């Protein structure tokens, strides 16, 4: 099974149309797409608008490859389950997003070899064919890097030391007046 997702917010008809055409050309009947409020209705791909997290997780788990916009929700979900993922970035010039942050993210994670990037519809078919030759990879941890968690914990610890003293300073005059 191949799972296609455009994420939780905006439609991405350009991706759905390209996958639909690829599914027809390669005679694949096992493609399922989440298309948000997209108006393009694929003919060779089964689809739904939105998915609850448990359904989304199940589809990622069952899929051989994931095809998605270059959104971090989709990318992280695929990496957490070790699935090959092909992404096509949304482009601001087609009003698919407000800026081209997805292009930069795709380029970066693509260069790291963690995802496969199709810049546009023309590149997509070959990338899909390639991704289907790949096996599952090691799953990434389901939590942030130890460094980021340590940064936050250090801030919170620091804070809990400061809070009581600043609180007592603020409360002292009031208590004194009442007393």
Binding site for other proteins (CB under 8 A): 7-9, 52-54, 71-77, 79, 98, 101-102, 104-105, 108, 140-153, 155-156, 159, 163
CB of 5 to other proteins, least distance (A): 10
DSSP letter (8 states) at residue 121: T
Residue number, 21 or 80, with CB nearest to other proteins = 80
Residue number, 25 or 162, with CB nearest to other proteins = 162
Place of tokens 């027809």: 24
CB of 166 to other proteins, least distance (A): 10
CA 148 from centroid of its chain's CA atoms: 19
CB of 87 to other proteins, least distance (A): 12
CB of 81 to other proteins, least distance (A): 13
Residue 28, classed as helix, strand or coil, is: coil
CB of 148 to other proteins, least distance (A): 3
Q: Which residues contact 4 (CB under 8 A, 6 or more apart)?
A: 15, 16, 19, 31, 32, 33, 34, 45, 66, 67, 68
Residue number, 122 or 170, with CB nearest to other proteins = 170
Residue number, 24 or 58, with CB nearest to other proteins = 58
Q: Look up residue 80 and give its two tokens.
A: 């957490």
Write phi, then psi, for 117 (nearest 5 degrees).
-110, 130
Residue 175, classed as helix, strand or coil, is: helix
Residue number, 77 or 128, with CB nearest to other proteins = 77
């Amino acid at each position: 099974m191949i799972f296609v997702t455009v994420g939780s917010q905006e439609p991405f008809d350009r991706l759905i149309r390209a996958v639909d055409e690829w599914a027809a050309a390669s005679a694949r009947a096992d493609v399922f797409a989440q298309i948000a409020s997209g108006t393009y209705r694929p003919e060779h791909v089964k689809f739904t608008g939105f998915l609850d997290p448990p359904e989304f997780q199940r589809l990622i788990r069952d899929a051989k490859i994931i095809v998605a916009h270059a959104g971090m929700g989709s990318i992280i979900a695929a990496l957490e389950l070790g699935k090959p993922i092909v992404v096509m970035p949304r482009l601001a010039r087609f009003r698919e997003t407000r800026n081209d942050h997805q292009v930069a993210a795709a380029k970066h994670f693509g260069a790291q070899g963690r995802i496969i990037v199709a810049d546009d519809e023309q590149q997509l078919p070959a990338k899909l064919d390639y991704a289907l030759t790949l096996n599952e990879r090691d799953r990434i941890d389901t939590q942030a890097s130890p460094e980021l968690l340590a940064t936050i914990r250090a801030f919170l610890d620091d804070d809990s030391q400061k809070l009581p003293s600043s609180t007592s300073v603020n409360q002292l005059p009031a208590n004194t007046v009442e007393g």
